[in-house]
Amino acid sequence: MPESSETVTVIASGVQALVLNIGWIMTSIGCFMLFKKDGIKRIYAFIPGVREYHVAIMAEKEEEGRTYFILTVCYYLARYMSFLFENGSLMKTFWLVIAASIGVAEFVYGIRIFKSLCYVFEKSRKWTVLWAFFPSLTSLIWGVSKNFVPNHRTIVDADFDKAAKISKTSVEAIQSGITVNLTERTVTNFGKKYYLLKDIHLSIPTGHMVLLLGGSGAGKTTFLNAVTGYEKADAEIILRGKDLYNNYDSMKYDLGFVPQQDLMRLNDTVYYTLSDAARLRLPKTISTEKRTKRINEVLDKFGLGSVRNSQVGKLSGGQRKRLSIALELISDPTLFILDEPDSGLDGVVARNLFESLRKIADEGKIVIVITHTPDRVIDLFDDVMVLAKDAARTGRLAYYGPINDSYDFFGKKSMEEVLLSINQKDEGGEGRADEFVEKYSEMIS
């Protein structure tokens, strides 16, 4: 009987090991084919933990993927430790309990990732259940079948050799305006370095209103965050002759940034909202009389005097956007940046808003604007800055200069056509970003 019992135990262990090996092989093959579809290095499919992390990246859940990776590695370690002890021993039970606990946490994170993966592949969420309970079989089906294709390509490992060459050109700082010499802006996620921006050099004089144009993922917001010092890059930002990064605390109120979404308390009045901003942004030494005068000046400038006592939540879309701009203008900044200020506004209201921005620029300010409908107000801009993703999916400067000259540079008749020319082919564009990045680099060298 003892020999028979030992034989059964050995057979059971062998079957268990075989099942685990078959599952590992099926999962590896499935992920190998999936990674091929998504542009991820296929070798990662054979490395436990790393494989799951890249599945999370494919599902646009990179942050959850980091935790999932750690849990997966810990799970495998716990399972390995359990094999070192005899069946029925206290230590074996201990490690099996640890593995089970980790497995539960791994299961929860897996659900989040698999749910998002269904969205990326445009498949029913019912597949989430199959991914959770039968990951080996499901990954194999998704990898082999031609019916499972992601709605985008991650391209984690882009070919940097094919990307546009670096200009190695910097521009001389101007005293009246802003000068940007940005070498690169990178982030490191889970030990991997990603390039968000690279090789951007330009100067904008005061009194200019500049359109910031670029497709999704080209780095427009990242560039603005770097310029304002919100997310510092490997760069030198000179504003009115002073280094912004080195003097940020004393210069931060010389910057005005209006985000796409309004960040105001709806129950406060217009006047109180502006007054609150004035107390925060104006020098502490300023008298109450001067502060009140500045608030009234800004109210009149944006036509908000008649609604000064109205609650913010009762304003129209155009009025709320004007108030958002007024909040930033209260400190009289030199650099004024707006992210889609016309979002949700009709043509007439949007036009009127941009005319107000034109007046601000004419008063000696620098105004930089992102808008998805530039052609309807393009006559109000002086220059256009075009950011584009090169072959390595890094934000690069494809053009900066006068509006009229940009049409000749790109060979297009509208900003919409310019945007299509630099967008990647898998985004419905012409895929000519690298061509124009290098063309512009040669032009300014």
Q: Residue 23 has what pLDDT?
A: 77
Whole-number pLDDT of residue 188: 66
Is the pLDDT confidence value at 189 over 80?
no
* CATH fold of 160-444: Rossmann fold (3.40.50)
Exposure string for 190-201, b = 16+ CB within 10 A, e = fewer? eeeeebbbbbbb
Q: For residue 202, name the pLDDT band (cuts at 50, 70, 90).
A: very high
DSSP secondary structure code for residue 269 in this structure:
B
Confidence of residue 1 (pLDDT cuts 50, 70, 90): very low
* Residues in CB range of 310: below 8 A, 6 or more apart: 269, 270
Q: How far apart are CA 445 and CA 441, in angstroms?
A: 6
Dihedral of the CA atoms 371, 375, 376, 379 (nearest 10)? 100
DSSP string, 286-352: S-HHHHHHHHHHHHHHTT-GGGTTSBGGGS-HHHHHHHHHHHHHTT--SEEEEESTTTT--HHHHHH
How high is the pLDDT of residue 166? 80
The pLDDT tens digits for 328-341 are 888 889 999 998 88
* Least-confidence region, from 79-93, 97-111, 205-219, 401-415: 79-93
Sheet architecture: strand order including 366-370: 242-243, 234-239, 177-189, 192-205, 395-402, 383-389, 209-214, 366-370, 335-339, 255-258
* In the predicted structure, residue 157 carries a pLDDT above the cut 50: no
What pLDDT, in 10s, does the model give residues 305-358? 888 888 888 888 888 888 888 888 888 899 999 988 888 778 788 898 899 999
pTM above 0.75, yes or no: no
Residue 171: half-sphere exposure toward Cβ, Cα within 13 Å: 21
Distances (CA, A) of 188 to 38, 161, 193, 194, 377: 21, 20, 4, 6, 38
CATH 3.40.50.300 domain range(s) in the chain: 160-444
Beta bridge partners, 368, equal 210, 337
Q: What is the mean pLDDT of the chain?
A: 85
Given a cut of 80, is residue 228 above it in pLDDT?
A: yes
Which residues on neighbouring strands pair with residue 177, listed in sequence order?
A: 205
